[in-house]
Amino acid sequence: MSIQIDLNQPPFSFLSEPQRQWLTQKLDLVFFQAGQVILDQGQVSPGLYIVYKGVVEESDGNGQVFSQYGREDIFDVRAVLESACKHRYTACEETLCYLLPSKDFIQLLNDSDDFSVYFKTDLGTQASLVEQRDSGGSVSEFILARIDDSSMRSPVYVNGQTNLARVAQMMHEQKYDAVLVRTAKGVGIVTGTDLLKATLMADKTKQSKVAEIAQYDLITVEYGEFLFSALLKMTQYHIERVVVTLDGDIVGLLELMDMLSLFSTHSHVIAMRIEQSRTLDELVVAAQRLDTLIRSLAGQGVKVEAIMELITTLNRRLLQRAYDIIFPQRLRDRVCIVVLGSEGRGEQILKTDQDNAIIFQHEHEREAVMPLLNQLHQALLDFGYPPCPGGVMFINDSWINTAEGWQAKVGRWLGSGAPEAMMNMAIFMDGEPICGDKQLFQRVKSRWQQEELRSSMTSAWFAKPALQFETPLTFLGKIREDDGKIDIKKGGIFPLVHGVRALAFEHAINDTSTLKRLDALIERSILDEEVGQGLKDALLLFIRIRLKQQLQLHSDQPGLSQQLDLAMLRSVDRSLLRHALHRVKKFKQLLVNHYHLENF
Amino acid sequence: MRYWLRRQMPGFLPPEGRWRHLGEPYHGDEVVVLDCETSVFDKRKGELLSVAAVVVKGQEILLSQALDLTVNSNAKTDENAVRVHYLRREDRSAGVSAAEAVEKVLDFVGNRPICGFYIEYDRAILNRYIKRLYNFKLPNRFIEVSEIYVSQKRRYIPEVQLDLTFEGLAKDLQVPVIERHTAIGDVISTALMYIKLTQFER
């Protein structure tokens, strides 16, 4: 007999086919009338209920609602595992549930490790299990792969005194294309191409010492970094291998050819295109490919964290390349272009609007630079980044200033305490310098990291907007939907990101990404490990679910949509979302207590 | 009892021997919801193709113990009937014999009341087989879902126009129709209607 619920989604997808077959034979069907109590506090649950139709509400005896369960949701795992029910479960409307008897559920837990891990672990592990299962391809594993022994070759060293003929002999015999050279100057590298050039195009002979032609400014990557960051370095420097170091020691070589055989051609091609573009038109072509790349990575189930990192790198290279093309050499180090907002935090995936600012070294550069800025702005439009509706762009007067001017502005913003000034500060605080002289931004940044500007009053004013939108849970504690939709930015992402930003501001934490800020807050014991980790999980979940729905939209600017259609979510995601929103709600309460916002 | 039965149904004896318990009065709170699919829709000629039954206890449908049998029958199926129940001759070849199916049904049902939608038809079909095999007719109490429905409706609005099709009932009672025209699917929907009509406050 077939069952009217989809068992091919988590947690049931963790079961083997025979286990699922077995499960369907164990299910009974129970019909509840509206208002009927299905399970009450202290009651022993006959088993696990899986909602087929209807809505079930979880509450305490006093009417406080914790959660709602709809189609394919499961309850109450705890009552089965812990022998008694902590809350009351009521059918809000006529509800049909499949019932898996306790003993059969426990049998499945014993028979399947994945299944039991899913039920017995916290939200983060649940989410990652779900993500793992979602990913099918091997490409994703590669993107996620870090540089380790399997991807690199062990280095071969020669003495600096070795002659070129001997080196060539060695390379030929051992099939190496590059060797490391140990000399008094340090370690250098010599490749087959170097040997050819030296003997055929320069005046070196077979007997010349290899130390003379070795190159010493090695391009290195750290053992354990993402493979694609090595790839980006190779394209950036036009080289075909990088040296892998571990705690400063060389441990291996990473070859482009080895990587290409593994790497998703898409991201590689785009990175290459960006690096090799000589005109803006060529960049536009590369920029247009980004969305396809995101689509394919997401489709392959690559973790959202990895996609975010890859896209951030590519976005920034894109801006930098455009800058190099537009700005003449002599002006390049006189300004600093800063990306702000989500782009600054490295949390943008699909293109949203432009958020950026510029810092001049001297006011008198303004006249020469303005036309160039307009060109750069136009280039960004062509790349597909729409203009910022709030005008936070380096073509607008309020986002152009000298370092000194910015310092003064930051002081005024923080001194005023006005909501608008505080939001400007928040946007600016996420800035990341991308083009030009990055020191200029550091000078401005050090201004708000000084103690006297971060009085407790200012910090509180700064934190306050985190509370301006209601969590779509606060109303009675269930997911509140407007026409089946919630605004995930207002309801989840913004309060979380801004709250973390406020704490980072208060404690002068230098990082811009929310995840890194959370790490820093945990490290300094400002947040509990558990709270911090929970918020990281929640943010990644919001971004992942939003991206998934954005990709299903057929609009020109899917990146701008913040609406989540709850009906489109798989039940497991809905349940994770509920948990994550609860975390945000608790975090907001923590902010209220911490900043005494109840007085504002 | 025997005397009464003999008077009610002249020519037939109540069940004896192995099936004696079927004639005993039932005191429990369970009913069996049952549905048969046949080769043609005809009390006298329709051959049993599949039969499904499920025990309903309170608000619970004991799906895990459901009876769902396909009968290995050679009966030529009406083209229209196949379109209704989707049981081709090929699908039936894996089934059990009609005699075996009837035996299993009797074992499953016991002396519990039997409930269904247009249960008269299923009763007639089963009785035809049982009479031939064991020479008795089902003595169980029969419950017609649409009858309960009508009497409940009439109680409130006597002159209402009722849609007494299976779908009509399901729609009005807001009961999901699960796999219409498979015996087990119809059984589940009928069971839901029965629960709703008898257990829920109206």
Q: What is the pLDDT of residues A485-515, one digit of tens each?
A: 888 999 899 999 999 999 999 999 999 999 9
Domain spans of chain A? 12-118, 157-260, 463-599
Judged by CB atoms closer than 8 Å, whether chains meet at A32 and B192 is answered as no
Judge whether B201 is closer than 8 Å to chain A, CB to CB.
Answer: yes
Judged by CB atoms closer than 8 Å, whether chains meet at A28 and B61 is answered as yes
Query: HSE on the CB side for A155, CA within 13 Å?
Result: 21
Judged by CB atoms closer than 8 Å, whether chains meet at B61 and A31 is answered as yes
Does a structural domain hold residue B166? yes
Mean of all residue pLDDT scores within chain A: 84
Does a structural domain hold residue B7? no
d(CA A435, CA A46) in angstroms, rounded, equals: 63
d(CA A350, CA A544) in angstroms, rounded, equals: 12
Q: Find the mean pLDDT for residues A233-261.
A: 83
Choose from A1, A27, A37, A94 for mutation: most chain B CBs within 10 A: A1
Count of C-beta atoms within a 10 Å radius of residue B63: 24
Reported confidence tier of residue A237, pLDDT bands at 50, 70, 90: confident
Judged by CB atoms closer than 8 Å, whether chains meet at A27 and B63 is answered as yes
The reported pLDDT for the residue numbered A444 is 93
Q: Which residues of B touch A49 (CB under 8 A)?
A: none
CA distance B67 to chain A (A): 10
Q: Residue A57 pLDDT > 90, yes or no?
A: no
Nearest to B64 among A25, A33, A94 (CB): A25
Q: Answer yes or no: are the C-beta atoms of A392 and A423 closer than 8 Å.
A: no
User: What tokens does B116 get?
Assistant: 């269904």
Q: Which residues of B touch A1 (CB under 8 A)?
A: 63, 66, 68, 184
Please give the CATH number for the structural domain made up of A463-599. Answer: 1.20.120
d(CA A257, CA A236) in angstroms, rounded, equals: 16
Q: Find the mean pLDDT for residues A423-450.
A: 92
Amino acid at A533: Q
Judged by CB atoms closer than 8 Å, whether chains meet at A33 and B201 is answered as yes
The reported pLDDT for the residue numbered B119 is 93
Reported confidence tier of residue A127, pLDDT bands at 50, 70, 90: low
Please report the DSSP string for A208-248 in residue order.
SBGGGT-B-S--EEETTSBHHHHHHHHHHHT-SEEEEEETT
Beta pairing class for A220-222 and A241-246: parallel
Q: Angle at Cα B95 formed by Cα B93 and Cα B101, nearest 5°?
A: 140
Q: What is the pLDDT of residues A510-567, one digit of tens each?
A: 999 999 999 999 999 999 998 999 999 899 999 999 998 888 887 777 777 888 888 7
Q: What is the pLDDT of residues B79-99, one digit of tens each?
A: 666 555 666 666 777 788 999
Q: Which of 3.60.20.40, 3.40.50.720, 2.60.120.10, 1.10.3720.10 is the CATH number of A12-118?
A: 2.60.120.10
User: What tokens does A249 get?
Assistant: 């020691």
Closest residue in chain B to residue A25, using alpha carbons only: B64
Beta pairing class for A74-75 and A88-91: unpaired
The reported pLDDT for the residue numbered A136 is 42
Judged by CB atoms closer than 8 Å, whether chains meet at B200 and A33 is answered as yes
The reported pLDDT for the residue numbered A532 is 93
Choose from A25, A27, A31 for mutation: most chain B CBs within 10 A: A31
The reported pLDDT for the residue numbered B125 is 93
Residues of chain A with pLDDT > 70, as a percent, come to: 90
Residue B102 sits in which domain range?
27-201
Judge whether B180 is closer than 8 Å to chain A, CB to CB.
Answer: no
CA distance B35 to chain A (A): 15
The reported pLDDT for the residue numbered B10 is 46
> Cα(first)–Cα(last) distance of chain B, in Å?
36
Query: HSE on the CB side for A570, CA within 13 Å?
Result: 19
Q: The domain that contains B104 carries what CATH number?
A: 3.30.420.10
Contacts for A522-527: CB closer than 8 Å, 24+ residues apart? A527/A503
Closest residue in chain A to residue B202, using alpha carbons only: A33
More confidently predicted of A176 and B98: B98
Quickly tell me which residue has 């300004």 as its tokens. A335
Beta pairing class for B30-38 and B48-57: antiparallel
d(CA A44, CA A46) in angstroms, rounded, equals: 6
Contacts of A240 (CB under 8 A, 6+ apart): A191, A234, A255, A256, A257
Amino acid at B127: N
Q: What's the full length of chain A, in residues? A: 600
Q: Find the mean pLDDT for residues A164-180.
A: 87
Does a structural domain hold residue B22? no
A44-53, A479-488, B20-29: which range is least confident on average? A479-488
Judged by CB atoms closer than 8 Å, whether chains meet at A1 and B63 is answered as yes
d(CA A359, CA A55) in angstroms, rounded, equals: 55
Query: HSE on the CB side for A388, CA within 13 Å?
Result: 19
Does a structural domain hold residue B18? no
Q: What's the full length of chain B, in residues? A: 202
The reported pLDDT for the residue numbered A435 is 93
The reported pLDDT for the residue numbered A268 is 62
* A122 three-class SS: coil
Tell which B residues from 53 to 92 touch A, by Cβ distance under 8 Å.
Answer: 59-64, 66, 68
The reported pLDDT for the residue numbered B21 is 87
Q: Answer yes or no: are the C-beta atoms of A511 and A517 closer than 8 Å.
A: yes
Q: Cα–chain-centroid distance for residue A160?
A: 44
Nearest to B184 among A1, A30, A101 (CB): A1
Q: Which residues of A touch B178 (CB under 8 A)?
A: 4
CA distance B41 to chain A (A): 24
User: What tokens does A562 get?
Assistant: 């913040």
Give me the architecture of the A157-260 domain, per CATH.
Roll (3.10)
The reported pLDDT for the residue numbered A417 is 79
Q: Find the mean pLDDT for residues A23-48.
A: 90
Q: Residue A101 pLDDT > 80, yes or no?
A: yes
Q: Write phi, then psi, for A520 (nearest 5 degrees).
A: -65, -35
**Weakly modelled stretches of chain B, pLDDT under 70:** 1-13, 77-90, 160, 201-202
The total number of structural domains that make up chain B: 1
Does a structural domain hold residue B51? yes
